[in-house]
Amino acid sequence: MDQVADLIHTVLTHTRPVAGSKARYTLDAALAAKLSQRAADLLAPFPLYPTIDLG
């Protein structure tokens, strides 16, 4: 859970609002890719439907 909390914290602290919008935001693309990979690595050992071949 600490690793998940760290991912959330990192996203929230690096997200910046777009001027003039209450719904749009920016997040550095390189950081987003890094965090996405970290999340995928955390989830990899726990497939949602392990008996279904999605490939």
Domain spans, the chain:
2-43
The predicted pLDDT at position 49 comes to: 84
- CA dihedral sign, ordered 35, 36, 39, 41: negative
Give tens-digit pLDDT for 1-55: 899 999 999 999 999 999 999 899 999 999 999 999 999 999 999 888 888 877 6
Give the distance between the most distant pair of CA atoms in the chain: 47
Torsional sign, CA 26, 34, 8, 55: positive
CB 35 within 8 A of CB 12: no
| DSSP codes joined into one string, 20-33 | T-SS-EE--HHHHH
**Residue of 24, 28, 21 lying closest to 10 (CA atoms):** 28
